[in-house]
């Protein structure tokens, strides 16, 4: 019993400390754990009123990354911010890390929240899930926003994956997990430093915050699974390419990372693509240039 209570105390301390170190969500947001198929639990933040927007994070982040955008959009939207399966405070199932399955997770969450359709926004891995969602549920997707992350299988995918910077797409397995165990911060620093236009924009508090989540039991196994599922994502998305997306799409790239290539790729998958390149930013748009990024998304959502 003492060990059980100690475990609860450590967990509460961890969550309280972590949340205090990043920008908070507005006070009207609440969190809940939503159980979906196969015993999977998705942790979500929900707030605001109006048409729905779902914000999907990527690797080296959790849904906490979206606080500045959620703050703006919640003035006139219902904003739903999940942690992807195996990440943040969601559960760690053994499988289902292909993006088509995770798009189904998002659909199940929205259904339980009585949300029929939504704007879908994704960054990094979240971009892959957001595209998979729009391809599977086009009638449920009002608009799509993809931010600085390639979508597997969509041309020029074969050129994109040749970049030496993306070696981690094939990195994982038991020995890799042993190598990274207890060194999660070192591994994550590589991404924050090398993918940023200005690494100092990902400050120490942010790094400490997210490192704690990725040091949780099973977290790095799940994170590696997100990338090791990419070959399946390629197959799924190549099938989806048979029908181009018809909803409006905003493709945002950091000038010092994917840049205009985000829109180049999406034009091969959608018929109505708006391109925005955020100056003076690398991959971590919400950390490096949050005001410009929020303004770009807000302007796109406000278009009729």
Cα(261)–Cα(284) distance, integer angstroms: 16
Residue 262 in contact with residue 147, Cβ under 8 Å? yes
Q: Which two tokens stand for residue 206?
A: 């942010």
Q: Mutual orientation of helices 99-112 and 125-136 as an angle, nearest 10°?
A: 70
Residue 110 in contact with residue 87, Cβ under 8 Å? no
Cα(35)–Cα(82) distance, integer angstroms: 12
pLDDT tens per residue, range 229-251: 999 999 999 999 999 999 999 99
Cα(261)–Cα(247) distance, integer angstroms: 20
Partnered with residue 173 across adjacent β-strands are: none
pTM for the structure as a whole = 0.93
Cα(14)–Cα(78) distance, integer angstroms: 28
Q: Which two tokens stand for residue 199?
A: 């690494």
Q: What is the pLDDT of residue 21?
A: 67
Q: What is the pLDDT of residue 20?
A: 41
The domains found in the chain, sorted by start residue, are 2-302 (3.40.50.1820)
Which residues of the chain, if any, have pLDDT below 70? 1-21
Contacts of 206 (CB under 8 A, 6+ apart): 21, 22, 287
Q: What is the pLDDT of residue 259?
A: 98
- For β-strands 118-123 and 30-35, DSSP reports them as unpaired
Residue 143 in contact with residue 245, Cβ under 8 Å? no
């Amino acid at each position: 019993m003492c060990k059980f209570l100690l475990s609860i105390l450590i967990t509460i301390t961890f969550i309280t400390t972590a949340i205090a170190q990043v920008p908070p969500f507005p006070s009207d947001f609440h969190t809940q754990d939503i159980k979906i198929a196969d015993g999977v639990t998705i942790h979500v933040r929900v707030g605001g009123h109006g048409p729905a927007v779902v914000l999907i994070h990527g690797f080296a982040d959790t849904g906490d990354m979206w606080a500045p955008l959620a703050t703006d959009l919640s003035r006139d939207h219902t904003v739903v911010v999940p942690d992807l399966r195996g990440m943040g405070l969601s559960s760690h199932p053994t499988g289902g890390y292909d993006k088509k399955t995770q798009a189904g997770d998002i659909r199940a969450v929205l259904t339980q929240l009585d949300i029929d359709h939504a704007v879908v926004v994704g960054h990094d891995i979240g971009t892959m899930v957001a595209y998979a969602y729009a391809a599977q549920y086009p009638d449920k997707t009002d608009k799509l926003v993809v931010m600085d992350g390639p979508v597997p299988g969509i041309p020029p995918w074969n050129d994109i994956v040749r970049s030496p910077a993306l070696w981690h797409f094939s990195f994982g397995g038991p020995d890799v997990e042993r190598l990274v165990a207890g060194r999660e911060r070192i591994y994550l620093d590589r991404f924050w430093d090398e993918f940023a236009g200005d690494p100092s924009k990902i400050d120490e508090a942010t790094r400490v915050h997210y490192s704690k989540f990725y040091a949780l039991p099973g977290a790095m196994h799940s994170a590696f699974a997100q990338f090791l599922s990419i070959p399946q994502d390629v197959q799924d998305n190549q099938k989806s390419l048979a029908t181009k997306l018809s909803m409006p799409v905003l493709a945002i790239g950091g000038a010092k990372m994917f840049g205009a290539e985000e829109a180049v790729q999406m034009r091969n998958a959608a018929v109505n693509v708006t391109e925005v390149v955020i100056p003076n930013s690398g991959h971590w748009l919400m950390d490096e240039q949050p005001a410009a990024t929020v303004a770009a998304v807000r302007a796109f959502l406000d278009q009729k």
